[in-house]
Chain A
């Protein structure tokens, strides 16, 4: 009973936040609504006892991705009226994409629930680990046994993306000034400091 109430409260907040993402006038408000949407969907996953996925969603999307998003959005000087110009023109296209997505989701969920295979396949694969209720152990053993090749493949794709992003942005221009950190670290006292011995002056006015 209480769980149902909590579910509907969070679901309502999630829908509201999702609406705010596309209707808010200020881009920073949109980004923050997206944060709220992620957070509430994480809470919904916790209710479904998928604690690892729920907390990982907060850790990755709220804690890392959206922070960088906010950084970028805060630095931009976005003219809101230009963005909102095409709203009515693209509305039919957007609605069509939305309807198609809903249909696709219905197909997937309907097929999965009908034969009860979505959750059972995972449980069978990790059956021998005997992790009752601990879905972190369950996910780990499935990821590193049944799905090890797709998992490693995804890791390689991500690594490639990191390297490509760094290579694209990290061009060293010849005219920029930069410090050679290793030279700075190697400096010794003798390189910078010269001690001069001087005779003390005699105060002869007294």
Chain B
């Protein structure tokens, strides 16, 4: 009986996390369209609801009504499975992310490792979608996206190795507690090169601009999901945005001190902001990164494919390896307020 109660409690927590997450995904698409249109001096969606606020819901309804077309000779089972495989890891990784002090579904010791394992599974959705569609554009797009994601995973993993060295733990809560203090106590300062590398590879991992060669209207149309329509396409879309939110949340936890306020422990400002709950700071920090995603899309031109690969393998990975050595030196010498 107690097992059942525990199980339903866990289910309740999962629902309480996933529903706001889906809402965030929906309104992320709205925010993206609004911000980009402001950058391009347009109005953006403004017909459905007040200032277009119901636009994401209208979009979702439209996609739900549409027919899911199965291409001829497509592998039926894998074609349907691929979108699920792409959204599953994006949601599963949230289980170990602490939203506030103690506000986490699974407080496990190998938290960071679990996140890395889950994000590394996301590539299966892409590859299988490309293969099962039985279309050359989809296959080429899947190969491009897959190779890019696999390459940037290495740089991203190395950057996070620096974080776990600095924190001395793989537990997400411990990593945040190791950064306790005001804004200059957080890991972004001693791990600045790793922070930059993590963020660049995070953008590349989600196949977003300026690294969005997985789709190219003039070469391979929409890339791996060119044959998908209706809800199956919408799930790929959801997975992309859920991954963006996940990468931003991870950046907030790893480098920007998670739930701590930027004035934590300061003499005058600290008590002034002490009443703000930790989750507010976490959400604000995540939103900063989400805004950066959109800002990049609005400003940067795309990379060429070989330049993307060169940046990942020949620039980002060496930088992380060098900085890992520097971090070990800083740990040995008890450098600054961080170690």
Which residues of A line the B interface, CB within 8 A? Answer: 1-2, 28, 32, 35, 51-52, 55-56, 58-59, 62-64, 67-68, 70-71, 74, 133-134, 136, 179, 181
The answer to whether A67 touches B113 (Cβ under 8 A) is no
The answer to whether B153 touches A63 (Cβ under 8 A) is yes
Task: Say whether, besides A63-B153, A136-B109, A136-B170, A55 and B127 are in contact (CB < 8 Å).
Answer: no
Whether, in the assembled complex, B3 has its beta carbon less than 8 Å from a beta carbon of chain A, the answer is yes
The answer to whether A28 touches B131 (Cβ under 8 A) is yes
The answer to whether B150 touches A64 (Cβ under 8 A) is yes
Instruction: List the one stretch of B37-45, B117-125, B207-215, B275-283 in contact with chain A.
Output: B117-125
The CA-CA distance from A64 to B307 in the complex, in Å, is: 22
The answer to whether A62 touches B121 (Cβ under 8 A) is yes
The answer to whether A58 touches B124 (Cβ under 8 A) is no
Residues from 248 to 307 in B contacting A, C-beta threshold 8 Å: 306-307
Q: Quick one: which of A2, A63, A70, A134 has the most chain B CB within 10 A? A: A63
Residues of B within 8 A of A52 (CB): 110, 113
Whether, in the assembled complex, B63 has its beta carbon less than 8 Å from a beta carbon of chain A, the answer is no
The CA-CA distance from A2 to B6 in the complex, in Å, is: 12
The answer to whether A67 touches B146 (Cβ under 8 A) is yes
The answer to whether A59 touches B116 (Cβ under 8 A) is yes
The answer to whether A55 touches B114 (Cβ under 8 A) is yes
Whether, in the assembled complex, B47 has its beta carbon less than 8 Å from a beta carbon of chain A, the answer is no
The CA-CA distance from A58 to B108 in the complex, in Å, is: 16
16 pairs from A and B in contact (CB 8 Å cutoff): A1-B3, A51-B110, A52-B110, A55-B110, A58-B117, A58-B121, A59-B116, A59-B120, A63-B117, A63-B121, A64-B120, A67-B127, A70-B124, A71-B146, A71-B147, A181-B307
Q: Distance in Å from the Cβ of A111 to the closest Cβ of chain B?
A: 30
The answer to whether A63 touches B310 (Cβ under 8 A) is no
The answer to whether A71 touches B127 (Cβ under 8 A) is yes
Residues of B within 8 A of A59 (CB): 113, 116-117, 120
Whether, in the assembled complex, B105 has its beta carbon less than 8 Å from a beta carbon of chain A, the answer is no
Residues from 310 to 328 in B contacting A, C-beta threshold 8 Å: 310
Residues of A within 8 A of B310 (CB): 181
Residues from 142 to 166 in B contacting A, C-beta threshold 8 Å: 143, 146-147, 150, 153
Residues of A within 8 A of B244 (CB): none
Residues of B within 8 A of A181 (CB): 306-307, 310
Smallest CB-CB separation from B113: which chain A residue?
A: A55
Residues of A within 8 A of B150 (CB): 64, 67-68
The answer to whether A70 touches B127 (Cβ under 8 A) is yes
The CA-CA distance from A74 to B143 in the complex, in Å, is: 10
Q: Distance in Å from the Cβ of B283 to the closest Cβ of chain A?
A: 27
Smallest CB-CB separation from A66: which chain B residue?
A: B124
Q: Distance in Å from the Cβ of B76 to the closest Cβ of chain A?
A: 12
The answer to whether A74 touches B131 (Cβ under 8 A) is yes
Residues of B within 8 A of A2 (CB): 3
The CA-CA distance from A181 to B311 in the complex, in Å, is: 11
Q: Distance in Å from the Cβ of B269 to the closest Cβ of chain A?
A: 36
Smallest CB-CB separation from B310: which chain A residue?
A: A181
Select one of A1, A35, A55 contacting B117, CB under 8 A. Answer: A55
The CA-CA distance from A68 to B154 in the complex, in Å, is: 14
The answer to whether B139 touches A74 (Cβ under 8 A) is yes
| Known contacts A62-B120, A71-B127, then 5 further A-B pairs from the complex at CB < 8 Å, ordered by chain A residue | A32-B78, A59-B117, A71-B146, A74-B139, A179-B306
The CA-CA distance from A179 to B150 in the complex, in Å, is: 23
Residues of A within 8 A of B306 (CB): 179, 181
> When A and B form their complex, which 7 residue pairs have the shortest distance between CB atoms, in order from nearest?
A63-B120, A58-B117, A59-B117, A55-B113, A51-B110, A55-B117, A74-B131
Residues of A within 8 A of B127 (CB): 67, 70-71, 74
The CA-CA distance from A193 to B110 in the complex, in Å, is: 54
Residues of B within 8 A of A58 (CB): 117, 120-121
Residues of A within 8 A of B116 (CB): 59, 63
The CA-CA distance from A198 to B152 in the complex, in Å, is: 48
Q: Distance in Å from the Cβ of B271 to the closest Cβ of chain A?
A: 35
Residues of B within 8 A of A67 (CB): 123-124, 127, 146, 150
The CA-CA distance from A67 to B123 in the complex, in Å, is: 8
Residues of B within 8 A of A64 (CB): 120, 150, 153
Q: Quick one: which of B109, B116, B139 has the most chain A CB within 10 A? A: B109
Residues of B within 8 A of A74 (CB): 127, 131, 139
Smallest CB-CB separation from A56: which chain B residue?
A: B113
B98-134 contact mask (Cβ, 8 Å, vs A): 1 or 0: 0000000000111001101100110110011001000
Smallest CB-CB separation from B4: which chain A residue?
A: A2
Smallest CB-CB separation from A74: which chain B residue?
A: B131
Q: Distance in Å from the Cβ of A157 to the closest Cβ of chain B?
A: 20
Smallest CB-CB separation from A28: which chain B residue?
A: B131
The CA-CA distance from A56 to B116 in the complex, in Å, is: 9
